[in-house]
Chain A
Amino acid sequence: VCVKKRKKQKFRTFSMHVLTLYMVKVYVSSSEIVVNEANFVRKCIGAESCQDDLWGKLVCTNFKVSFIAHNSLPRQCTHRLLGEHDIPLACVEQVVTVNDVKGKQKILGSNQKLKFNPTELILYCKDFRIIRFRFDEAGPESAKKVCLAIAHYSHPADPQLLFGFEYVGKRYHGSTASHSNMVNGVDPGGGLQTPLFDCSSDWDREIKRTGASEWRVCTINQGYFISPSLPEFFVVPVSLADQDLKQYACCFYSQRIPLWCWNHSSGSALVRMSNISDPQQQRKVEQRISSAITKSHPLRSDVFKSDLDKNLPNIQDIQAALLKLRQICVIDSFEESEEKWLSSLESSRWMEYVRTFLRHAVEVVYMLESRHVSVILLEKEDRDLSCVISCLVQLMCDPHCRSLHSFQGLIQKEWVMAGHRFLDRCNHLKRNDKEESPVFLLFLDCVWQLWNQYPAAFEFTEVYLTVLGDSMWVPVFSTFLFNCPRQRAEHSRDFASSKSIHLGQDQALCFPPVWDWSQQFSLKDQTLFNNPLYVGKIATCVQNGTVKTFTHRRSKVSC
């Protein structure tokens, strides 16, 4: 009792201070609204003792779970959208409420009831954080309400309820079109050097850069009339006419016409293709496509088909591995798992999968570079494993891709435009767990492994890769919010019309891509993305006149 009293006294001394703090606390933009809050909440810091715990106010907004500590001075925030104790709602994986007196525990979803007063709230986060709040001193009703609010707002019923829509929509309000291009005080497209591959000129440049003279930009999917999951512009062999493509489109899964990814300097092409759904047409169409690719090769070389579904783990395997990895990283007791750490890591199979992807990419590189043949990456839907492999192949072969802007362009080209289902794979709506899979994270891990083996070959740093991975859970970027370009276009159009937003010259709401790093970080902080060891594009790629390859590589399995 004595201790409790002293603590309460502490509150009183601080409460005035809190108030001022709260007043100066500026939210992301006028689009962020406080939904619910509870005071006198304790954030647990240490696992064993509570001596480092923080007291403060727990706030749920439509964007994040925020904790405003009473007794800590406002730190200079390094992140422009998130404070030290903030968790974006999209990052919350599971909301667990506990009443340790009654021994009750409940996982909360959206629109649910809670029959007990929670004494503790545990937030399991997608980025492996586990955050605990105690309500011993908070009012039972307000504690319950804030828990329910967090649970509800972290399960948006509709993609348009993701914070990004409010965030972007707000800038079209109450200002003239000329001033409206600022998001969070920053112009989203301004000075962006990353090609987004949403226009034919970006593709033209890529064709020119790689010397793929026998390939052309195809525009038949403008308005997404042919394939719902393909971008409006993509690249095909010159020998295939638009008429042929339209005819073949219906044979492919989701009408996905095979996409050109990249040309090796030898003229070998890297192409990605979905399964042919019509078995009767399969042989014929496959042959036509192959012969067109052959015709586009300067040596008229054969085409090698690389079946990714057969050789690589599927998205469920990858998800299962991540769950095991998380189990051993953050859920199992640190002390107990210490001795068995390496073998547990091995049994999670995560590293094994990283290695499998890298090895497969090396095999593709070998075909392109030493056998001088073009390669088709074959995957049922062509929207997951192909993204990883095509990017890794290009990173390994093409030093251009290892600069920061080209790396971003690469992700734009092979993930965003090619229609990787970020919305489903991130499970932002928490609706279908079966579709959730950390394919992109796996890719970043593969890049990290390469980065470790070639510390001077990449312009970016480990910090950059980490921050890129974390940005998946900040739901304001066009990059990670949608399943394909068409979905983005539709949702932004619908949202604009439902909110009577006048788009002005824009065709749809302009979400900032994650590549607009000024949304999140100051220019000074962005310098942490630059690798001091980077030797530049030219120096690494050409050694004694030959392009350096990575064929003799073993995945360095370190941890």
Chain B
Amino acid sequence: DRSSGTRVSDTELRVYKDPSKGELPLLPEEHVQDSAKDVTYICPFIGPVRGSLSVTNYRLFFRCTDREPVFGLDLPLGVLSRVEKIGAATSRGDVSYGLACKDMRNLRFVHKEPEDSLKKSVFEVLMKFAFPVSNNMSLFAFEYKQVFPENGWKVYDPLAEYKRQGLPNESWRISKVNDHYELCDSYPAALVVPVTITDEELRRVSSFRAKGRIPVLSWIHPESQAAVVRASQPMVGQNGRRCKEDEKLLQAIMDANAQSHKMFIFDARPSVNAAANKMKGGGYESEDAYQNAELVFLDIHNIHVMRESLRKLKEVVYPNIEDSHWLSNLESTHWLEHIKLILAGALRIADKVESGKTSVVVHCSDGWDRTPQLTSLALIMLDSHYRTIRGFQILLEKEWLSFGHRFQQRVGHGDKNHTDADRSPIFLQFIDCVWQMTRQFPAAFEFNEYFLITILDHLYSCLFGTFLCNSEQQRLKEEVPKHTVSLWSFVNSQLEEFVNPLYVGYPSHVLFPTVGIRHLQLWVTYYIRWNPRMRPQEPVHQRYKELLAKRAELQKRVEELQREAANRTASSSSERAGSPTRSITPVQTFV
């Protein structure tokens, strides 16, 4: 179904059984900008492939013409991080172009320069449309006008989510102090704070916390009332500045939980980095100023280290893998070690909240990278609601989008400045951690792997408005919900694609994953999916759907039988009133 065919292919080289279907699929408002015949794609796996290349305002589409079955490349321009000419033209006038992608692959094409020097090459057109922001154009998400049965922008309603958690209550209130984003422009409008702290005091606290990101509640334990609170670093500086309102706020957070007379402050950074931040006016809470609070450093490195680690990982996995040193090469990227530290940090937070019944405050430097990684993973461990498809969407909308993870900056949507030091795969790491948990608890998550990959693909695609901008305020200003489609509209309109057939949904289970490096795996089906030799050998996705259908069928049958059994009891008891009632064995379902 091509009309709603917004699905980004998860295979690089799609095999078109029927060549007529190899035609360029076009989305609403998608238009061909340029196309060229006689382009050669230098495929690292099967060698050079000749074909035609089309560039639209949304995608790059390459279709090979010289071999059967017909191969194609179909990728959204949003995944491109760099397009460059490699070397000078050859004597035959051939020019090489290299395309570096955000999704772990590089593409190379060879193309003859147009003889008419005034005519633009298809790659020059590509460069323009791949980086619309740098060229003062709008992202395709603002053009795309697909209508879906469900409006994904309505998935997250902060007040409804807080209500689900039982908020406000006698200890916590919902403050409107940030209604116009005046207290903190990277925070959401609705903030949950202790009732004993006034808005005026919150304003004072905001001047003491980096970027005004004050400690506010993310989640509250339904029984113990232990809270997960997030913030940015305190502006302690070299002189050890203090702020009595901030101290009062943290005391109030601790007091809101009657179960514990202690609290933990988790600083995501390595202690050395946290100390170094004092030179720049930042720092961490001293235990003198915050009595009864214990400070723990989680040793997670900053965005630059993570970016470098992913770069190394790409080097190791793309295009070819050195079999004989695969494991040691993987080790040298430290990618899994970073994943481990993040998961281990989240585990400690979840453990303190669940087992210790203690409230926790989590922060890093600005509180918008490592902090959402930690809080959202801890929340997934603690609250089964976030392991459902819709609950996970709410979690992303809340912890990542509304609390201002800088998606625009970290991903660099439509921006040609590929060396920008603000880019970093923070969100990718989070999704990787979630994937690791789905491996360890295969029946605890309602969504499947394809759901996670779809989210990552649309993190870069710029087809949906969901991951655009840096904050809630910016999204409102740009009227993103009004002018773009939400990724959740697309996802929730075809949920059957994303459901895990093994899902059982333990409603009150807390998941404590094992975080040792021995239990972590490289997410091969994401990071190495372009390598045809590493692709899953069997279409498990299809099998999942069959299982779901089978389950639905069995469930229906159980209901029928239960009805039938109920009717029989009803009729037999009315017919033979007075006779001993037969006990009906309940039909057990394992679905």
The interface-forming segment of A252-260, A337-345, A367-375, A507-515 is A337-345
Contact with A along B533-558 (1 / 0, CB 8 A): 11011101001000100000000000
A512-559 with Cβ < 8 A to chain B: 532-533, 535, 540, 550, 552-554, 556-559
Count residues of chain B with CB under 8 A from any CB of chain A.
27
Q: Check if A149 is an interface residue, CB within 8 A of chain B.
A: no
Task: Assess whether B521 is interfacial by the CB under 8 Å rule.
Answer: yes
**Is A553 in contact with B518, judged by CB distance below 8 angstroms?**
no
Q: Map CB proximity to A onto B511-529 as digits: 1 under 8 Å, 0 otherwise.
A: 0000011100110100000
Which residues of B are found within 8 Å of A554, using beta-carbon distances? Answer: 321, 323, 533-534
For residue A453, which residues in chain B have a CB less than 8 angstroms away from its CB? 536-538
Q: In the complex the two chains form, what is the Cα distance from A346 to B337 in whole Å? A: 17
Contact A342 B543 (CB under 8 A): no
Q: How far in angstroms is the closest Cβ of chain A from B443?
A: 11
Asked, given contacts A346-B325, A552-B533, whether A341 binds B522 with beta carbons under 8 Å apart, the answer is no
Contact with B along A321-356 (1 / 0, CB 8 A): 000000000000010001111110111000110010
Is B330 part of the binding interface, using a Cβ–Cβ cutoff of 8 Å? Answer: yes
Q: Is A454 an interface residue (CB 8 A)?
A: yes
Chain A residue at minimum C-beta to C-beta distance from B519 = A559
Q: Would you give the shortest CB distance from A458 to chain B, in whole angstroms?
A: 11
Residue of A nearest to B332 (CB): A343
A558 lies within 8 A of B521 (CB): yes
Q: Contacts A340-B331, A355-B323, A456-B540 hold; do A552 and B532 have CB atoms under 8 A apart? A: yes
A313 at the interface (CB under 8 A from B): no
Among B331, B336, B337, B547, chain A packs the most CB atoms within 10 A around the CB of B331
Cβ-neighbour of B543 out of A339, A456, A556, A557 (below 8 A): A456
Q: Which of A340, A553, A559 contacts B537 (CB 8 A)?
A: A553
- The answer to whether A457 has its CB under 8 Å from any CB of chain B is yes
* A109 within 8 A of partner (CB): no
Q: Are A556 and B327 in contact (CB under 8 A)?
A: no
Q: Which residues does chain B contribute within 8 Å of A535, judged by CB atoms? A: 543
Q: Does B324 make an interface contact (CB < 8 A)?
A: yes
Residue pair B537, A343 in contact (C-beta under 8 Å): no
- Complex CA gap A540/B546 in Å reads 14
Which of A334, A352, A556 neighbours the largest number of chain B CB atoms within 10 Å of its CB? A556
Q: Does A469 contact B (CB under 8 A)?
A: no
Q: How far is the CA of A338 from the CA of B514 in the complex (A)?
A: 13
Give the docked Cα–Cα distance between A553 and B543 (Å).
Answer: 21
Cβ < 8 Å to A, chain B residues 483-521:
502, 516-518, 521
Are the CB atoms of A553 and B533 closer together than 8 Å? yes
B326 contacts the other chain (Cβ, under 8 Å)? yes
Q: How far is the CA of A552 from the CA of B331 in the complex (A)?
A: 25
Given contacts A453-B536, A556-B524, A559-B518, whether A342 and B323 have CB atoms under 8 Å apart is no
B589 contacts the other chain (CB 8 A)? no
B518 and A341 form a contact (CB under 8 A): yes
Which A residues between 485 and 521 are near B, CB-CB below 8 angstroms? none
Contact A351 B327 (CB under 8 A): yes
Is B328 at the interface (CB under 8 A from chain A)? yes
Is chain A's binding surface mostly helix, strand, loop or mixed?
loop
Q: Is the CB of B328 within 8 A of A346?
A: yes
| CB of A455 closer than 8 Å to a CB of B | yes
CA of A550 to CA of B326 in the docked complex: distance in angstroms?
21
With a cutoff of 8 Å between Cβ atoms, the chain A residues found around residue B533 in the complex are 552-554
Question: Given the complex of chains A and B, what is the CA–CA distance between A340 and B328 in angstroms?
Answer: 9
**Contacting residue for B517 out of A338, A540, A552, A557, CB 8 A:** A338
Residue contact A342 to B331, C-beta cutoff 8 Å: yes
**Could you tell me the distance between the alpha carbons of A342 and B519 in the complex, rounded to whole angstroms?**
11
Contact status of A342 and B536, CB under 8 A, knowing A533-B547, A558-B524 = no
> Do the beta carbons of A345 and B323 come within 8 Å of each other?
no
**Interchain CB contact under 8 A, A339 and B337:** yes
Q: How far is the CA of A175 from the CA of B351 in the complex (A)?
A: 59
Query: How far in angstroms is the closest Cβ of chain B from A523?
Result: 16
CB–CB A342/B517 < 8 A = yes
Closest Cβ of chain A to B502, distance in Å, is 8
> What separation, in Å, do the CA atoms of A557 and B316 have in the docked complex?
14
Measured between C-beta atoms, what is the minimum distance from A433 to chain B in Å? 28
Chain B residues contacting A454 (CB-CB under 8 Å) are: 537-538
A338, A345, A457: the one contacting B327 at CB < 8 Å is A345
CA–CA, A540 to B542, complex, Å? 13
In whole angstroms, how far apart are the Cα atoms of A352 and B521 in the complex? 18
Q: Which of A334, A341, A346 contacts B326 (CB 8 A)?
A: A346
Give A142 to B132 CA distance when docked, in angstroms: 82
Asked if A533 meets B540 with Cβ closer than 8 Å, knowing A340-B331, A341-B517, A342-B327, the reply is yes
A339 to B517, CA, bound (A): 8
* Bound CA span A110–B503, Å: 52
Residues of A within 8 A of B516 (CB): 334, 338
Q: Please report the C-alpha to C-alpha distance between residue A552 and residue B540 in the assembled complex, in whole angstroms.
A: 18
Smallest CB separation, A106 vs chain B (Å): 32
**B522–A558 contact, CB under 8 A?**
yes
CA distance in complex: A25, B538 (Å): 48
B538–A346 CB distance below 8 A: no
Q: Closest CB-CB distance, A548 to chain B, in whole Å?
A: 9
A453 — nearest CB in chain B belongs to which residue?
B537
Assuming the contacts A342-B327, A553-B533, asked whether A532 and B547 have C-beta atoms less than 8 A apart, the reply is yes
Q: Which residues of B contact A352 (CB under 8 A)?
A: 324
Q: Are B328 and A343 in contact (CB under 8 A)?
A: yes
Given the interface pairs A456-B540, A533-B540, the reply to whether A343 lies near B331 with Cβ below 8 Å is: yes
Q: In the bound complex, how far is the Cα of B518 from the Cα of A488, in angstroms?
A: 41
* A345 neighbours in B (Cβ, 8 Å): 327
Which residues of A have CB within 8 Å of B534? Answer: 554, 556
A343 to B324, CA, bound (A): 11
**What is the minimal beta-carbon distance from A501 to any residue of chain B, in angstroms?**
45
Inter-chain CA distance A346–B534, complex, in Å, is 19
Contacts of B518 in A (CB 8 A): 338, 341, 559
Bound: A558/B321 CA distance, A: 14
User: Judging by beta carbons under 8 Å apart, are B327 and A455 in contact?
Assistant: no
Do the beta carbons of B543 and A533 come within 8 Å of each other? yes
- Chain A residues near B547: list those with CB within 8 A: 532-533
Residues of chain A lying within 8 A (CB to CB) of residue B321:
554
Which of chain A's residues has its CB closest to B550's CB?
A532
Residue numbers in B under 8 Å from A552 (CB-CB): 532-533
Q: Which residues of B contact A334 (CB under 8 A)?
A: 516
Whether A342 contacts B538 in the complex (CB less than 8 A), given A355-B323, A533-B547, A554-B323, comes out as no
Contact of B330 among A339, A340, A342, A540 (CB under 8 A): A342
Give chain B nearest CB distance to A95 CB in angstroms: 28
The residue on B at minimum CB distance from A340 is: B331
Q: Which residues, 327 to 351 on B, are CB-close (under 8 Å) to A?
A: 327-328, 330-331, 336-337
Q: 0/1 per residue, A6-30, Cβ < 8 Å to B?
A: 0000000000000000000000000
| Cβ–Cβ contact A550 & B537, under 8 A | yes
CB pair B538–A557 under 8 Å, yes or no, is no
Closest Cβ–Cβ distance, residue A322 to chain B (whole Å) = 17
B240 CB to closest chain A CB (Å) equals 34
- Chain B, Cβ-Cβ closest to A456: B543
* B334 nearest in chain A by CB position: A339
Interface centre among B321, B326, B337, B522 (most CB of A within 10 A): B326
Residues in B neighbouring A559, C-beta threshold 8 A: 327, 518, 521
- Which residues of chain B are near A455, meaning CB under 8 Å? 538, 540
Nearest to B439 among chain A residues (CB) is A558
10 CB-based A-B contacts, threshold 8 Å: A334-B516, A342-B330, A342-B517, A343-B331, A347-B328, A455-B540, A456-B543, A540-B538, A554-B323, A557-B327
User: What 7 new A-B contacts, CB under 8 Å, besides A342-B517, A559-B518?
Assistant: A347-B328, A456-B540, A533-B543, A533-B547, A535-B543, A540-B538, A557-B326
The 10 closest A-B pairs by CB, nearest first: A346-B327, A342-B331, A343-B328, A342-B327, A558-B521, A341-B517, A554-B533, A456-B543, A453-B537, A343-B331
Which residues in B have some Cβ–Cβ distance to A below 8 Å?
Answer: 321, 323-328, 330-331, 336-337, 502, 516-518, 521-522, 524, 532-534, 536-538, 540, 543, 547
Binding site for B on A (CB under 8 A): 334, 338-343, 345-347, 351-352, 355, 453-457, 532-533, 535, 540, 550, 552-554, 556-559
